[in-house]
């Protein structure tokens, strides 16, 4: 006896999120990508604060994670063509 699935094939959650991010505008992608710079700076600048090593570790993990999330999110929103546009824009400057 074979069983058949009654649910239609649906894309995974990750595929749906990626599709939604790719549907956002070029400008949104540039803004999200630009947000990763302050998070990278803060993730390392917080090491200068006079707080415990454990607190510094927690702050670094959170801020560095936000930096990576905004970086990859921005690149997903931009896509290949948007990345080429941004790269060309920086090449002209």
Each domain of the chain, given as residue ranges in start order, spans 25-92
What pLDDT was estimated at residue 57? Answer: 95
- The residue among 87, 88, 40, 90 whose CA lies nearest residue 60 is 40
Contacts 24+ apart (CB under 8 A), 57-65: 63/39, 64/39, 64/40
Of the listed ranges 33-37, 63-67, 70-74, 89-93, the least confidently predicted one is: 89-93
What pLDDT was estimated at residue 42? Answer: 95
Euclidean distance between CA atoms 32 and 59, whole angstroms: 21
Q: Render pLDDT for 6-58 as a digit per residue (tens, 0 to 9).
A: 666 778 998 898 888 888 888 998 999 999 999 999 999 999 999 999 999 99
Structure tokens at 16: 């749906």
Q: What band does 86 get if pLDDT is binned at 50, 70 and 90?
A: confident
- The residue among 66, 54, 53 whose CA lies nearest residue 74 is 66
More confident residue, 76 or 8: 76
Using CB atoms within 10 A of its CB, is residue 67 exposed (0-12), middle (13-18) or buried (19+)? buried
What is the value of pTM for the model shown? 0.74
């Amino acid at each position: 006896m074979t069983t058949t699935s009654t649910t239609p094939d649906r894309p995974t959650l990750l595929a749906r999120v990626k599709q939604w991010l790719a549907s956002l505008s070029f400008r949104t992608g540039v803004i999200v990508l630009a947000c990763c710079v302050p998070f990278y700076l803060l993730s390392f600048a917080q090491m200068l604060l006079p707080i415990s090593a454990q607190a510094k570790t927690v702050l670094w993990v959170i801020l560095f994670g936000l930096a990576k999330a905004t970086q990859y999110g921005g690149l997903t929103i931009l896509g290949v063509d948007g990345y080429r546009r941004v790269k060309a824009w920086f090449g002209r400057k």
